[in-house]
Amino acid sequence: MLLTVFVLSGCTGSQTTSDCAVAIRYDGTTYYEGGFTERSVDPLGRGEMSSCDDTGSDPKGAYFGDDAEKVDVWSFRGYDADQVVGIREEGRVVRVLLAEDLPERARRALRESGLLDE
């Protein structure tokens, strides 16, 4: 997680910011955004969308609240849903999300497979 600390001019305190990558939780696995595609998808189920707390004195970044928004989760034909899933954006665009514990070698293979639009 990338953290940036800055001091506001004219203020005596400091604020911290944190990036909030899109994350979903589906079937016990957390997935983080990896890119976008316009490939065909098949319905998989419902998952929880992360919230973002990216400012203040102790930002959490992306997190799952008790009342997390429910979203439709999609699978990609020919790809293991334990490794990669999607959520629909506008039109035909699908946000690709990679499993949090996916080894770097598998991440690289997914990127090289052509799943993600360049």
Domain that holds residue 70: 3-111
Rounded CA separation 35/46 (Å)? 20
Which tens digit of pLDDT belongs to each residue from 10-20?
A: 334 444 445 67
Of the candidate ranges 25-39, 41-55, 100-114, the one whose mean pLDDT is the lowest: 41-55
Instruction: Specify whether the CB–CB gap between 86 and 37 falls below 8 A.
Output: yes
* Residue at 6: amino acid letter: F
Which tens digit of pLDDT belongs to each residue from 86-115?
A: 999 988 899 999 999 999 999 999 989 999
The overall average pLDDT reported for the chain is 82
With H, G, I as helix, E, B as strand and everything else as coil, classify residue 112: helix
Question: How many structural domains is the chain composed of?
Answer: 1
14 domain residue, yes or no: yes
61 domain residue, yes or no: yes
